[in-house]
């Protein structure tokens, strides 16, 4: 049995092929009478017709696809961001092609080249090193991009980011209000824009409140993960420097703190208060539940998709950046110092 074509659908529905094409494309369906569109869709389903996006792209010079460049799909931060992106792309007739870079510049370049070969109409990029020549190259070549959750220096493209500085300030203010004077910071990698911005915000927050501004209280983690957080806290404890609380660069780093406290027979928050950043799922199920800065992940994804669709519709419009406000979720991992 031959594969049904668009012409077969149009003839069976009693409409012109162009009308059938518009009815089957979510992006143009609104141009067709609603009853006609429903009839065409029913006929297409009954015939087992599947649109050919490649053929459509050849005719329209548009692929209807967007590339999503994610640094680490195992990080619970990113799935809700991707969900937010898809929630906006799908009604607009677009789909997302996801690639995982593993924070490896060579892999990232190869994956981006693959996306471009598939003629994506733009990129939503969630990976941003402080020194990121690939992004500079893509920007020079006119590739439409939106930065999500992170923003590199020197690349003037639309971005949607959480207000990291305000989030860190909330965390330090909370600990200071409990009576903590020596607050450590386990910072994210210094090679990432997020790690740098949150570390700067920590220094500003402790200075503004007259708290201990001791360089020995800051340890840079090599990665944004639990193992790196554990290694950082071990080095801080072994150094002998005094501190009663920790602001972690993200929730995974904070989980590493929990591991080390268990190793050394210490308890949280009696021996050490811990604050995370991101509000990943299930943090309220930890013992104790983690106090953390909450980021509206799904909203970040949705706003990123809207910014990219705007750029696709108007490529020459000035780059627009959105900064989202954050909140602190206070749970059981913080208390006054012993």
Sketch the domain layout of the chain as residue ranges: 6-51, 65-162+297-325, 164-294
Would you tell me the crossing angle of helices 34-47 and 17-24 to the nearest 10 degrees? 90
Mean pLDDT on 74-88: 92
pLDDT per position as a tens digit, 128-178: 677 788 888 898 888 999 999 777 667 788 999 899 999 999 999 999 999
Contacts of residue 107, defined as CB under 8 A and 6 or more positions apart, other chains included, come to 101
If residue 160 lies in a helix (H) or strand (E), which one and from where to where? strand 159-162
CA-based Rg of the chain, rounded to a whole angstrom? 24
Place of tokens 């090599």: 222
Tens of pLDDT, residues 250-267: 999 999 999 999 999 999
The residue ranking higher by pLDDT, 226 or 136, is: 226
Of 247, 255, 258, 262, nearest to 212 by C-alpha is 247
Quick check: helix, strand or coil at residue 319? coil
**Cβ 139 vs Cβ 329: under 8 Å:** no
Span 46-60, average pLDDT: 64
33-47, 150-164, 219-233, 265-279: range with lowest mean pLDDT: 150-164
Do 65-162+297-325 and 164-294 have matching folds?
Answer: yes
Regarding the domain delimited by 6-51, which CATH topology (the fold level of the hierarchy) does it fall under? 434 Repressor (Amino-terminal Domain) (1.10.260)
Q: What percent of the chain has pLDDT over 90?
A: 64
What per-residue confidence (pLDDT) applies to 58? 45
Q: Decide which of 187 and 2 is more confident.
A: 187
Q: 275 by DSSP, 3-state: which?
A: strand
- Token output for 114: 């693959």
Question: In sequence order, what are the residues at sequence separation of 6 or more whose Cβ sits closer than 8 angstroms to the Cβ of residue 161?
Answer: 147, 148, 149, 150, 151, 300, 321, 322, 323, 324
CA distance 80 to 298: 5
> Is the predicted pLDDT of residue 298 greater than 90, yes or no?
yes
Of 48-52, 198-202, 277-281, the range with the highest mean pLDDT is 198-202
Q: DSSP letters of 208-239?
A: HTT----GGGEEE-SSSSHHHHHHHHHHHHHH
Average pLDDT, the chain: 90
Question: Which ranges of the chain does DSSP label H, i.e. alpha helix?
Answer: 6-13, 17-24, 34-47, 53-60, 78-89, 105-117, 133-140, 164-177, 193-208, 226-239, 251-263, 297-313
Contact present, 284 and 65 (Cβ < 8 Å): no
Half-sphere exposure of 2 (CA within 13 A, CB side): 4
8 A C-beta contact, residue 280 and residue 331: no
Residue-level pLDDT at 193: 85
Closest CA to 248 of 285, 213, 223: 223
Whether 97 has a pLDDT exceeding 70, the answer reads: yes
Domain 164-294, CATH among 3.40.50.2300, 3.40.50.620, 3.80.10.10, 3.30.420.130 = 3.40.50.2300
Joined tokens for residue 223? 């990665």
Residue matched to tokens 């190793």: 263
Does residue 60 register a pLDDT over 60?
no
Residue with tokens 């005719």: 59
What's the whole-model pTM score? 0.77
> Can you tell me the mean pLDDT for 44-66?
70
pLDDT digits (tens, 9 = 90+) for 101-125: 988 889 999 999 999 988 899 999 9
Query: What would be the CATH architecture of the domain defined by 65-162+297-325?
Result: 3-Layer(aba) Sandwich (3.40)
Is residue 300 within 8 Å of residue 322, measured between CB atoms?
A: no
Decide if pLDDT at 59 tops 60.
Answer: no
Position 311 pLDDT exceeds 70? yes
DSSP, res 291: E
- Torsion angles phi and psi, residue 327, rounded to 5: -130, 160
């Amino acid at each position: 049995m031959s594969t049904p074509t668009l012409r077969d659908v149009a003839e069976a529905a009693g409409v012109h092929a162009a009308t059938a094409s518009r009815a089957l494309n979510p992006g143009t369906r609104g141009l067709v009478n609603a009853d006609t569109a429903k009839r065409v869709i029913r006929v297409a389903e009954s015939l087992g017709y599947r649109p050919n996006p490649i053929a459509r792209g050849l005719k329209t010079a548009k692929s209807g696809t967007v590339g999503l460049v994610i640094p680490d799909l195992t990080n619970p931060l990113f799935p809700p961001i991707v969900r937010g992106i898809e929630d906006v792309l799908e009604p607009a007739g677009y789909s997302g092609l996801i690639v995982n870079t593993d924070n490896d510049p060579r892999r990232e370049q190869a994956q981006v080249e693959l996306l471009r070969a598939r003629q994506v109409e733009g990129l939503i990029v969630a990976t941003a090193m402080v020194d990121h020549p690939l992004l500079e190259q893509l920007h020079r070549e006119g590739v439409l991009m939106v930065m999500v959750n992170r923003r590199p220096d020197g690349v003037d493209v639309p971005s949607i980011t959480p207000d990291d500085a305000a989030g860190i300030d909330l965390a330090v203010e909370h600990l200071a209000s409990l009576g903590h004077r020596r607050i450590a910071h386990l910072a994210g990698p210094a090679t990432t824009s997020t790690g740098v911005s949150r570390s700067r915000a920590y220094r500003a927050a402790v200075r503004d409140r007259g708290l201990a501004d001791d360089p020995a209280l800051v340890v840079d983690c090599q990665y944004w993960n639990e193992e790196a957080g554990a290694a950082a806290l071990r080095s801080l404890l072994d150094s002998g420097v005094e501190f009663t609380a920790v602001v972690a660069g993200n929730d995974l780093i904070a989980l590493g703190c929990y591991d080390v406290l268990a190793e050394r027979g210490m308890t949280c928050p009696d021996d050490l208060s811990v604050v995370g950043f991101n509000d990943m799922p299930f943090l309220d199920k930890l013992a104790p539940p983690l106090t953390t800065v909450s980021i509206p992940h799904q909203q970040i994804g949705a706003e990123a998709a809207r910014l990219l669709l705007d750029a696709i519709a108007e490529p020459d419009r000035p780059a627009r950046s959105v900064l989202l406000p954050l909140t602190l979720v206070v749970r059981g991992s913080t208390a006054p110092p012993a």
